[in-house]
Structure 1
């Protein structure tokens, strides 16, 4: 994560987006989305992540987060991105049914060679640009944006029909990840 984008107030909610290098559509496969889900749940249980909204699209992720006292949001995100990049690349390599394997691994390796922070591969784009959600209006705007993303992309007709987001929770159902509700 770039040091120019610091989270100054850890107690505030932040809207975070990050994408796969070259906007590769990795998350068309549930296997890879499920790895992200597992990692978000782990970060909630072990790393102090408080999750208020989320959505996994084909090549990027949106989150609304804060952190428990004693934890830094940028540390949680750094660890999450580092861990998931390794796990997803391993899953791609070992997936015998992955028809795009050689192409994706070639791209991730080429991106990794351009970045001194990596040993072999780069999966996520380097920067995050956290937006502090300082007003209720801004919180609702970003939450609506996250939940409408699959609708705007033509994946579903109603936000709550997309299971890889928190829209189901906000519609009164039970989603894949426990969340804190924005009041």
Structure 2
């Protein structure tokens, strides 16, 4: 069994990236970003997730996280399942979502190719956790997380 992209030590911090299937730009609307933030806040308060840094890009999320209680893979699994359900419901309910049918059709197509999903697959299956084992590595990924939106041209400064 591969050791690549797994949480090996629950006492360590990890850099995690998880993306929307097909790299669909879902997070161009504030209400969809809020679903992610609300879920992270819930996981922090109720499941022991420690969020040290985060960045929501248009089609993926970067986190630097740790945990106090449950295994990180369990927390992320629950977070992704919950946010997928909430995102699909929000997209369906949004009267101004011009990409509604297109996104829902793509989510359904990805689900049809994956026996783990029944109706919609919103997230890619992997999380790509990278263990942050030294202060130098932590700062490298913290810098990357904060500067990713600047590099992508979404904001002018990392503070935004």
Q: With the length of structure 1 as denominator, give the TM-score of the two structures.
A: 0.84
Tell me which residue corresponds to 1:140.
139
Q: Equivalent residue for 1:87? A: 86
Runs of 4+ more than 3 Å apart: none
* SS of residue matched to 2:86: helix
- When the two chains are superposed, the root-mean-square deviation of aligned CA atoms in Å is 1.1
**What 5-or-longer segments of structure 2 have no aligned partner?**
none
State the partner residue of 1:24.
Answer: 24
**Equivalent-residue separation in structure 1 for 2:122 and 2:79 (angstroms):** 12
1:6 positional shift:
2.5
Alignment-derived partner of residue 150 in structure 2: 151
> Which residue of 1 is the match for residue 67 of structure 2?
67
Question: What is residue 103 of structure 2 aligned with on the other side?
Answer: 104
Structure 2 residue matching 1:28: 3-state secondary structure? coil
Cα distance in 2 for partners of 1:146, 1:65 equals 12
Structure 1 residue runs without a partner (length 5+): 163-183
CA distance in 2, matches of 1:126, 1:52: 23
Task: Give the corresponding residue for 1:119.
Answer: 118
Cα distance in 2 for residues equivalent to 1:156 and 1:65: 23
Count, aligned residues: 158
After TM superposition, give the deviation of residue 140 of structure 1 in Å.
Answer: 0.2
Q: CA deviation at 1:5?
A: 3.5
Match of 2:58 in 1: 58
